[in-house]
Structure 1
């Protein structure tokens, strides 16, 4: 055996141009940028690989992975006793952070009974009686002689969230905030100035918009608080930021790092060079679904990974069934264990700043920061966050991206497993989950509305479930194939996946030796929808005959063709074909049109 040490200097280095030329050769002349350069919705170009030859823009102050991330659980407070029980249970399950959502007057002593305030971060989202509760709370903290440096958490009055979702803001709320800042001033690790950007991402904003508008919100806070006599250093030292986590894994890592860097740049403009703040990440509402809700666990896992690697100080992993309003002990435990496993078993909590120096992530971070800073400056140049929201500038920018995302979802270029691809046809969806779906995904133009991008597809599923209730029958789709074996199988598979999104019953593909027998059998079967599946060559020879033979026996059934034979479109439609399904089909529009026809053809259930 040769023990000679391997010397990599023996190999000549390969330049980036050589790699690119090789890729172009493998693409057989196809455009390298169109095929391999990813353009995401934050309008940044992401090449397929990076090398030392790429110009590096290393941002500073991108955050620090403290290896002590706070794993939060949200507790809704209806009664102090019940909320306290849920909080203690969360602590038993290993949670080291609690967020109490308080809507009415409540006793801090009863709520926090038995909770160690030096080892558990305690935070509050308060909507009423804010000052009274904080007074009661701080009195309890002092009574327990809690060490100021160990007492962590934050209080959030949801000022920005309420404003952008209702259109109303009572500026006296900043007077309350000033009082809370004074009440908590002896506890530097408990933050009183909380700003959340999740409302932007959950309303459809991209990463650069979320960064920019959150920073614009901060400047708005600073203006209001300094007018009321709060010192600028005190504001930054009392700052808590919450950002959402999306599904673009590496870009989301870059988002948190870019935000940290830009926050320090803005602080420097105010003359603040050293300050202490907390950054909490919350899993997104935007990319979740009530259809095949178990897949939400996959999404929250990658989101939590992005947040930890992006140097978040705290993480809120929402239960996978939160959007179904059915949060259970099991789903709460799974949500908490997600962060436990990443920290302890996957060693995410054992390595400091593991992504620093990655060409890809450093580049993504720099590009996001550059574009976010441009938007931030544009908003400030037009006035400030408040003025730009009042005139609709911010809403319009978010709406443009939101509509693009919905379009990509409908084109299935933005994939949501279980929603617009790979539907679970065995799932029986509770129709009560779809309450309120008669409203459009688009809220009033002047407001933001946190929502799920899957909302429009869920509306289609609701329409199917309504049809089942009215007729007592789930619409049946029959996949009828003939001709070329490989292509008919491929198109039957595509049709199975495409039509399954609508919640229809999909029969297994039926193959025939010729189009005549296929048409005759499909026309007299018990199905409501028939999809022709074959190759383009077979369509040229047999599709017209199939449609004519089919319509001679059945005038009512919906007849579709899997594929896009452009040259045959007009003649097939004239012969009685109802439409085509293919990779360029608009999923939402196509399924909606099919459902309208089903409503006309299926008889209501007789009672």
Structure 2
């Protein structure tokens, strides 16, 4: 056919669509019946149309052409970590995200590692200048692609304390950046905001303010031009909103980076949130993580790691890790999520959400900067207070059934028993200690319900 099939149909305007919907509603109120409001304060309509937008399709800076299946590996025993990493790569992983709480034997961890094929990410829960210099020198000789993800401010937010102290942490960061400015050193962890209950607008605004602290710190550096920040994000179950969140992040960061005359694209690592994961009916977690990793891919994450369905109550195990990795393999190899790099482009709904999230986040970001910046507001407790308010509202929605977690607050299997399967403590742990600021506490929505069910389980 030489002529498009669409030429045989008259175009339908947005006004005509709404009129037809109102006729079909038979007197019911359009707004009350079909328009719903998200936690971010965004009103979602049943239809979106080209007439609704007065701008061209969005250009997303740095949207990747491909994404990497990423496997998390915790370094405790160096030889075991090496085995897990090599095994994961042989079974489909394309990148490894190493987490470590103390320094480790780098030669053992990276024995026979295929540096030419796999990207390396780090989440180091310590800041040791000598160790990091040795690690960087070692991996440079291997010509490895590495993201070190140093986030001293993120550690303060999560733990309430600097690694050592404000002055020493910045001194180490400056020394590393001076000698390794071409490396991917800096990271902003927005997952800590999400898992504590922040809305998407807050996640974007706080993440942008977080990045601004680093950009402002290095603005006079002679080597600032190539500076690039890696964002670690958590995706929740609000599918289209999460796609739009990542797109909005890239737009916002590009605008901020332009002001500092640095690289306007950022690198994004995404993984599913823990906030909506459940202890009971845990297999539903696989459905949640599938849609959440889909959002990450479609939104434009560079690397996507998954959360095992049993991560709340089981120690890391081969079966759970394999299933989580296979979910990503199915998306990439069988569902062809690697064929098109930007499938969300042109969707009126996603474009509208992206614009609204970006606009609201930018407004909040500006108010944070007027208030002295992120660090100042963290010290005042303003950020913590705002996130607590958002988390409380979300918790209320869950308690009232407006926010549904299947198998937990809707259609629970009352015969489900979990008391004797707990290898890990799945609830918030209280660790009383002196801190410089009040840390952000990650908490799942279903914790109270689950604790009550555990208490009522029969022996």
Instruction: Report the TM-score, using the length of structure 2 for normalisation.
Output: 0.91
Distance 1:15 1:276 in 2: 36
Matches within 5 A, 1:37-48: 37-48=35-46
Provide, for residues 246-270 of structure 1, a one-character-per-residue CA deviation record: whole Å limited to 9, x for no partner: 1100010100000100101011122
Provide, for residues 528-565 of structure 1, a one-character-per-residue CA deviation record: whole Å limited to 9, x for no partner: xxxxxxxxxxxxxxxxxxxxxxxxxxxxxxxxxxxxxx
Deviation at 1:8, TM superposition (A): 4.1
Given that residues 103 and 126 in structure 1 are in contact (C-alpha distance below 8 angstroms), is that contact kept between their aligned partners in structure 2? yes
Decide which of 151, 166, 169 is 2:159's aligned counterpart. 166
Matches within 5 A, 1:299-378: 299-378=288-367
Q: Matched residue of 1:428: which SS?
A: coil
Provide, for residues 73-93 of structure 1, a one-character-per-residue CA deviation record: whole Å limited to 9, x for no partner: 111111211111111111111
Change in CA separation of 1:347 and 1:56 when aligned onto 2, cut-off 3 Å: farther
| Structure 2 equivalent of residue 223 of structure 1 | 216
Distance 1:419 1:108 in 2: 43
Distance 2:62 2:266 in 1: 12
Counterpart check, 1:291 vs 2:280: yes
Distance 2:368 2:359 in 1: 15
Decide which of 231, 235, 238 is 1:245's aligned counterpart. 235
Decide which of 245, 253, 258 is 1:268's aligned counterpart. 258
Deviation at 1:382, TM superposition (A): 0.5
Distance 1:312 1:396 in 2: 29
Deviation at 1:131, TM superposition (A): 2.3
Counterpart check, 1:280 vs 2:269: yes
Counterpart check, 1:180 vs 2:176: yes
Distance 1:257 1:330 in 2: 33
Deviation at 1:18, TM superposition (A): 2.6
Change in CA separation of 1:5 and 1:103 when aligned onto 2, cut-off 3 Å: closer
| Structure 2 equivalent of residue 112 of structure 1 | 110
| Structure 1 equivalent of residue 101 of structure 2 | 103
Deviation at 1:160, TM superposition (A): 3.1
Counterpart check, 1:201 vs 2:194: yes
Distance 2:31 2:415 in 1: 41
Deviation at 1:163, TM superposition (A): 1.3
Given that residues 246 and 252 in structure 1 are in contact (C-alpha distance below 8 angstroms), is that contact kept between their aligned partners in structure 2? yes
Deviation at 1:462, TM superposition (A): 2.3
Change in CA separation of 1:103 and 1:446 when aligned onto 2, cut-off 3 Å: closer
| Structure 2 equivalent of residue 457 of structure 1 | 449
| Structure 2 equivalent of residue 393 of structure 1 | 382
Deviation at 1:431, TM superposition (A): 5.2
Gaps of 5+ in 2: none
CA RMSD of aligned residues (A): 2.5
Decide which of 232, 242, 246 is 2:224's aligned counterpart. 232
Distance 1:387 1:33 in 2: 41
Gaps of 5+ in 1: 470-607
Distance 2:68 2:5 in 1: 44
Change in CA separation of 1:182 and 1:89 when aligned onto 2, cut-off 3 Å: farther
Given that residues 276 and 445 in structure 2 are in contact (C-alpha distance below 8 angstroms), is that contact kept between their aligned partners in structure 1? yes
Deviation at 1:453, TM superposition (A): 1.2
Deviation at 1:316, TM superposition (A): 1.6
Deviation at 1:51, TM superposition (A): 1.4
Given that residues 73 and 316 in structure 1 are in contact (C-alpha distance below 8 angstroms), is that contact kept between their aligned partners in structure 2? yes
> Relative CO higher for 1 or 2, CA cutoff 8 Å, sep ≥ 6?
2
Distance 2:281 2:364 in 1: 37
Distance 1:426 1:92 in 2: 39
Given that residues 61 and 264 in structure 2 are in contact (C-alpha distance below 8 angstroms), is that contact kept between their aligned partners in structure 1? no
Instruction: Report the TM-score, using the length of structure 1 for normalisation.
Output: 0.70
Provide, for residues 23-55 of structure 1, a one-character-per-residue CA deviation record: whole Å limited to 9, x for no partner: 223222221112111211111111111112112
Matches within 5 A, 1:12-91: 12-58=10-56, 60-91=58-89
Distance 1:222 1:7 in 2: 51
Provide, for residues 459-501 of structure 1, a one-character-per-residue CA deviation record: whole Å limited to 9, x for no partner: 2212312xx34xxxxxxxxxxxxxxxxxxxxxxxxxxxxxxxx
Matches within 5 A, 1:537-548: none
Distance 1:301 1:73 in 2: 15
Decide which of 103, 123, 128 is 1:130's aligned counterpart. 128
The number of aligned residues is: 451
